[in-house]
Chains A and B, each alone.
Chain A
Amino acid sequence: MKKVKAVSLNGTAVIVALITLFPVLWMISTAFKPSQEIYSQTPDLWPQHPTFGNFSTVIGGQASGIGTVFLFFRNSIAVALATVLIASLLSLLAAVAVARFRFRFRASFLIMLLIVQMIPGQALIIALFLDFAGLNLIQNLLGLVVVYSAQALPVSIWMLRNFVATVPKELEEAAAIDGASAPRVFWRILFPLVAPGLVATSIFAFITAYNEFIVALTFLGQSHSLYTLPIYVTYFFGRGGAEWGPIMAASTLYTIPVMIFFLVVRRRLVGGLVAGAVKG
């Protein structure tokens, strides 16, 4: 009876895992298929004659007609890294304020973060577009960095606040008594101890920026050379002609960095997200 239960449990697990994985496998499999296999009357799960042809047209830039995939990688990574730097710095400062000090408006500030986090991007995009157009920040990667950094702040502050709160205050006080200045206490004591929290918020900010669609779509317009990866894939997809091999190759390349990130930080990510949602 116990064995039957174990088999059915593990059997269910295998089925769940395969169904979950299948679309990802299909994306990668299509990316490696030559076009006669992609449109075959009897599609195979795995490419019979695997080819790098789809990847080489994506890298060569012929497939999309607007440039090599590396250009869009560079744009996406630059925007995401700048977002990580700004969001991490600002949210760490704010997290120290709410975790270490009692001041007026503290509760209001925290409630404001919760509410702001819920404002839909579609509601803001109209005014953001007009404001940033006036500042010459549309068709400009800096404009994306500014929006993404601000969008990452509410959740980042909530996540980091919990990390700062776990650092014993006595540690800082002891250092201060020993004559360390406030910046020194910050860099030597607090910073190393909240580093794991910064990793978590950095990954959150990176993925927010790397995945973002609606702002980039609206801001970048026809400036092909500034496209981030999602807008590049969108352009490619919308051009028609349905070249599924190269599109899946581009999607695969776009997905891989996030996959690696997720696998590296699997535990911390979820803990951080849940902690960010509600204090545990």
Chain B
Amino acid sequence: MERQAGLFLPDRAIGRTGLAPARLAAFVRRHRLAPYLLLAPALAGIGLVLLWPLAQVVVYSFQNYGLPQVTGAEPTQWVGLANFTQTFTDPEFWLSLRITVLFALIAVPLTLVVGTLVGLLLNRLGPKMAAFVSTSALLAWSVPPVAASVLFYWLFNPDGGLVDWTLARMPHWLVGNTDWAGFNWTTSDALHAYTVLLILVVWQAFPFIAVAVLAGLKTVPAELYEAARVDGAGPVSVFRRITYPLLKPIFLVLLLFSVIWDFNIFTQTYFITGFPGNRDEFNLSLYIYDKAFQFPPSYSLGGALALIFTLILLVVTVGYVRAAIRQGALT
């Protein structure tokens, strides 16, 4: 009844009689707009907060954008590739890049190996022991990065830290001839600071790997292992022939995630290297942050660096997307 009446009413009246929603619904249905309407809010959020800033950073990287340009005291100019040439001629950039790559090269495999070993261990333990180990791992995992970094700074502190105290009481044949009492891990050199960071990162990240590997192991049919045991296969060949091929998709994702995490690492390096103090201990993240925000801030240099950084990580991301598509994640 109402619908028919609506045909003879002017548009304004429809709004008042409450017919507009019905017409709107029909419009949405006719044009199949529902999915787009449902997506719109999320898309707006991602677009405005994640994609638009990225586009801006690209623009900044070809300009001379700093404090005078933000306040309007000086005009913003296009400077071509000047920011990139300045970056590529800065020895500090190459040092920070080297530190970042070397750290990831060591931290990623170590985290994966430790996490996988603990995952395999969890799979073979009785229920009570497995609960004990996984709860410990969960507690370590739950410590927020800032709290974990401060905690490790304290553990490795030259003044009252437990690690120096312990090392100083160990025989020299075991711990070398360094005078460990009062040894400063964070300011001595990059090698020692990143040793602390390696332990910290592995400690924080292995629980996730272990539990993810364990979840994968639970899906492997027990008959496979039994058959292998009957055939007399050892633990190494069982892992190589059965576990690894079946868990390959999980391992691939964990590898890509670990590379991204260890390459990006900021919070932990910020604390352990004592930002902004020790410039020779910067990784790429700290170097970018320093260029962009330490006085005088250069948003353009920071932007150029952020662009370089994103492009490097894009290589990993492409691998991730391909892995996801191959596993049918888009269907």
Contacts and interface: CB of A to CB of B under 8 A. Distances in A.
User: Do A and B truly interact?
Assistant: yes
Nearest to B135: A263
B144 A230 contact: yes
Contacts of B134: 266
Interface centre among B35, B148, B321 (most CB of A within 10 A): B35
A146 interface: yes
A213 B321 contact: no
A147 B49 contact: yes
Interface stretch (B82-90, B91-99, B186-194, B303-311): B303-311
Contact of A120 (B146, B148, B313): B313
B162 A27 contact: no
B137 A123 contact: no
A126 B57 contact: yes
A277 B154 contact: no
Contact of B159 (A213, A242, A247, A254): A242
A271 B212 CA distance: 8
A12 interface: yes
Given A247-B150, A278-B253, A128 B289 contact: no
Nearest to A150: B49
Contacts of B39: 93-94, 97-98, 109
A10 B129 contact: yes
B132 interface: yes
Given A26-B151, A126-B299, A127-B53, A213 B145 contact: yes
Interface in B289-331: 289, 292-293, 299, 302-303, 306-307, 309-310, 313-314, 316-317, 320-321, 323-325, 327-330
Interface in A97-117: 97-98, 100-101, 103, 106-107, 109-116
Contacts of B313: 118-120
B182 interface: no
B157 interface: yes
Given A119-B310, A126-B303, A131-B53, A153 B45 contact: yes
A101 B46 CA distance: 20
A18 to B, nearest CB: 8
A140 to B, nearest CB: 15
B28 to A, nearest CB: 10
B136 A106 contact: no
Contacts of A13: 121, 125, 129-130, 132-133
B160 interface: yes
Contact of B143 (A39, A90, A255): A255
A138 to B, nearest CB: 12
Given A16-B118, A90-B41, A242-B159, A210 B60 contact: no
Given A9-B124, A218-B293, A237-B271, A154 B323 contact: no
A213 to B, nearest CB: 4
A255 B149 CA distance: 12
Given A20-B203, A123-B309, A244 B321 contact: no
A251 interface: yes
A16 B154 contact: no
Given A27-B151, A278-B323, A128 B53 contact: yes
B257 interface: yes
A252 to B, nearest CB: 8
Contacts of B285: 120, 122
A73 interface: no
A149 interface: yes
A220 to B, nearest CB: 13
Nearest to A237: B150
A89 B104 CA distance: 36
Contacts of B309: 120, 122-123
A43 B54 CA distance: 49
A100 B292 CA distance: 43
B167 interface: no
B260 interface: yes
A94 B40 CA distance: 8
B147 A251 contact: yes
B150 A123 contact: no
A96 B38 contact: yes
A143 to B, nearest CB: 10
5 contacts: A16-B118, A16-B133, A16-B136, A210-B144, A229-B144
Interface of A: 9-10, 12-14, 16-18, 20-21, 23-24, 26-27, 30, 38-39, 43, 86, 89-91, 93-94, 96-98, 100-101, 103, 106-107, 109-116, 118-131, 146-147, 149-151, 153-154, 157, 210-211, 213-214, 218, 229-230, 233-234, 237, 242, 244, 247-248, 251, 254-255, 258-259, 261-263, 266, 270-271, 273-274, 277-279
Given A214-B267, A234-B146, A274-B212, 13 more contacts: A16-B136, A20-B136, A21-B136, A23-B155, A89-B41, A97-B34, A114-B321, A116-B51, A118-B320, A147-B49, A234-B271, A270-B212, A279-B324
Interface of B: 32, 34-36, 38-39, 41-43, 45-46, 48-54, 56-57, 60, 70, 118, 121, 124-126, 129-130, 132-148, 150-155, 157, 159-160, 162, 165, 203, 207-208, 211-212, 215, 249-250, 253, 257, 260, 263-264, 266-267, 270-271, 285, 288-289, 292-293, 299, 302-303, 306-307, 309-310, 313-314, 316-317, 320-321, 323-325, 327-330
